[in-house]
Structure 1
Amino acid sequence: MNGARWLAQALAAEGVDTLFGYPGGTIMPFYDALHGSDLKHVLVRHEQGAAFAANGYARASGRVGVCVATSGPGASNLVTGIADAMLDSVPMVAITGQVPTGLMGTDAFQELDVFGMTLPIVKHSFLARSVDELPRMVGEAFRLARSGRPGPVLIDLPKDVQNADASHLPAHAPLPTDPVPAAPDASYHEAAALIAHARKPLVYGGGGIALGDAVDAFRAFVEGSQIPAVLTLKGLGALPADHLLNLGMLGMHGNRAANMSVQECDLLIVVGARFDDRATGKLAEFAPNARVVHLDLDPAEIGKLRAVDAAVNGDLRRSLDALTPACTAQTQARNGGARRTWRDICLQRKRDCAPRYDAPGETVYAPALLKRLSELAPKAVVACDVGQHQMWVAQHWRFDDPRKHLTSGALGAMGFGLPAAIGAQLQDPAAQVICVSGDGSFLMNVQELATAARYRLPVKIVLLDNQALGMVRQWQELFFERRYSEIDLSDNPDFCAIAAAFGVAAFHVERADAVEDALAAMLACEGPALLHVAIDQQANVWPLVPPNSNNAQMLDPEADAAATAAAPSPTPANDKEDAHAIPA
Structure 2
Amino acid sequence: MDQFPDIFVRRLREHGVRYAFGIPGGPWIPYMEAMRRQEMPFILVANEASAGFMADVCFRLTGAPALCHGTFGPGATNLATGVGCAYLDRSALIAATTEQSDAMRHRVTQMNVDHQALFAPITKWTVRAEADTLTSTLDRAVATACEEVPGPVHIGLPVDLNDRNTPRGGSLPDAKATRPPSAGAIRAAADLIRQARRPLIAVGLTAARLGLHQSLAHLLDVIPAPVVLTPMAKGLLSETHPSYAGVLFHACSDRLTGITRQADLVIGLGYDPVEFDYEAWLPPVPVVHIDTAAAELSAPYELAALCIGDLDAAMQTLGTIKPLATEWDFAQLARHRDGLNSALHPRSEGFGPSEALDILRDILPPEGILTCDVGAHTHLIGQLWPTPAPGHLLMTNGWSSMGFGIPAALAASLCRPTTPVVCVTGDGGFTMMAGELITARRLGLNTVIMILADRMLSLIEVKQGWKNCPADSSRLFQNAFLDADRIFGVPVLKADSPATLRQALRQAFHTAGPVVVEAEVDGRDYHQLIARSYK
Bucket of the pairwise TM-score, normalised by the shorter protein: over 0.9
Displacement of 1:134: 0.5
Tell me: CA distance 1:239–1:541, structure 2 relative to 1, closer, same or farther (3 Å).
farther
CA contact (8 A) 1:26 1:158 kept: no
Partners of 1:304 and 1:4 lie apart in 2 by 48
Q: Aligned residue for 1:193? A: 191
Partners of 1:470 and 1:173 lie apart in 2 by 53
How do 1:513-524 residues align onto structure 2 when only pairs under 5 Å count?
513-524=499-510
Partners of 1:485 and 1:352 lie apart in 2 by 34
DSSP 3-state at the match of 1:440: helix
Uncovered stretches (5+) of structure 2, i.e. residues with no partner? none
Tell me: CA distance 1:40–1:439, structure 2 relative to 1, closer, same or farther (3 Å).
same
Q: Aligned residue for 2:155? A: 155
Q: Aligned residue for 2:368? A: 380
Q: Which amino acid is 2:487 matched to?
A: A
Within the candidate set 437, 459, 474, 1:487 is matched to 474
Partners of 1:511 and 1:3 lie apart in 2 by 57
DSSP 3-state at the match of 2:43: strand
Tell me, yes or no, if structure 1 residue 9 matches structure 2 residue 2.
no
Q: Aligned residue for 1:438? A: 426
Within the candidate set 314, 321, 327, 1:319 is matched to 314
DSSP 3-state at the match of 1:363: coil
- List per-residue Cα deviations over 1:555-583 (Å, max 9, x = no partner): xxxxxxxxxxxxxxxxxxxxxxxxxxxxx
Tell me: CA distance 1:170–1:189, structure 2 relative to 1, closer, same or farther (3 Å).
same
Tell me, yes or no, if structure 1 residue 287 matches structure 2 residue 274.
no
Partners of 2:73 and 2:344 lie apart in 1 by 49
Identity of aligned residues (%): 26
- List per-residue Cα deviations over 1:227-270 (Å, max 9, x = no partner): 22010011111112232211110225353553321122111111
Within the candidate set 487, 502, 506, 2:492 is matched to 506
Tell me, yes or no, if structure 1 residue 349 matches structure 2 residue 336.
yes
- List per-residue Cα deviations over 1:300-336 (Å, max 9, x = no partner): x25478531111111100000000121xx233xx3xx
CA contact (8 A) 1:250 1:259 kept: no
Displacement of 1:542: 4.0
Q: Aligned residue for 2:168? A: 170
Partners of 1:137 and 1:307 lie apart in 2 by 41
Q: Aligned residue for 1:274? A: 272
Q: Aligned residue for 1:368? A: 355
Q: Which amino acid is 2:293 matched to?
A: D
How do 1:526-565 residues align onto structure 2 when only pairs under 5 Å count?
526-540=512-526, 542-546=528-532, 549=533, 551-552=534-535
CA contact (8 A) 1:9 1:172 kept: no
Within the candidate set 200, 203, 216, 1:202 is matched to 200
Partners of 2:193 and 2:449 lie apart in 1 by 44
Partners of 1:419 and 1:70 lie apart in 2 by 19
Partners of 1:256 and 1:135 lie apart in 2 by 51
- List per-residue Cα deviations over 1:434-489 (Å, max 9, x = no partner): 1110011111111000000000101111100111111111111122x132241111
How do 1:346-495 residues align onto structure 2 when only pairs under 5 Å count?
346-355=333-342, 363-377=350-364, 378-479=366-467, 481-491=468-478, 494-495=481-482
Partners of 1:545 and 1:134 lie apart in 2 by 50
Indicate the larger mover: 468-477 or 258-267.
Answer: 258-267
Tell me: CA distance 1:107–1:175, structure 2 relative to 1, closer, same or farther (3 Å).
farther
Partners of 1:353 and 1:110 lie apart in 2 by 52
Q: Aligned residue for 2:511? A: 525
Give the count of matched residue pairs: 532
CA contact (8 A) 1:363 1:510 kept: no
CA contact (8 A) 1:248 1:254 kept: no
Displacement of 1:196: 1.4
Displacement of 1:216: 2.2
Q: Aligned residue for 1:309? A: 304
Tell me: CA distance 1:66–1:144, structure 2 relative to 1, closer, same or farther (3 Å).
same
- List per-residue Cα deviations over 1:156-206 (Å, max 9, x = no partner): 00111122112xx13453333222011111222221121112111111000
Partners of 2:246 and 2:277 lie apart in 1 by 12
Q: Aligned residue for 1:124? A: 125
Tell me: CA distance 1:401–1:122, structure 2 relative to 1, closer, same or farther (3 Å).
same
Partners of 2:273 and 2:252 lie apart in 1 by 14
How do 1:14-33 residues align onto structure 2 when only pairs under 5 Å count?
14-33=15-34
Displacement of 1:151: 0.3
Q: Which has the larger radius of gyration?
A: 1
CA contact (8 A) 1:222 1:229 kept: no
CA contact (8 A) 2:205 2:232 kept: yes
DSSP 3-state at the match of 2:202: strand
CA contact (8 A) 1:392 1:541 kept: no
Partners of 1:238 and 1:451 lie apart in 2 by 32
Q: TM-score, normalised by structure 1?
A: 0.86
CA contact (8 A) 1:381 1:424 kept: yes
Tell me: CA distance 1:293–1:360, structure 2 relative to 1, closer, same or farther (3 Å).
closer
CA contact (8 A) 2:221 2:323 kept: no
Q: Which amino acid is 1:165 matched to?
A: N
- List per-residue Cα deviations over 1:323-379 (Å, max 9, x = no partner): 0121xx233xx3xxxx25433332332233323676556632211221231232222
Q: Which amino acid is 2:475 matched to?
A: D
Backbone CA RMSD of aligned residues = 2.2
Displacement of 1:35: 3.1
CA contact (8 A) 1:496 1:530 kept: no
Partners of 2:111 and 2:139 lie apart in 1 by 28
Tell me: CA distance 1:251–1:360, structure 2 relative to 1, closer, same or farther (3 Å).
closer
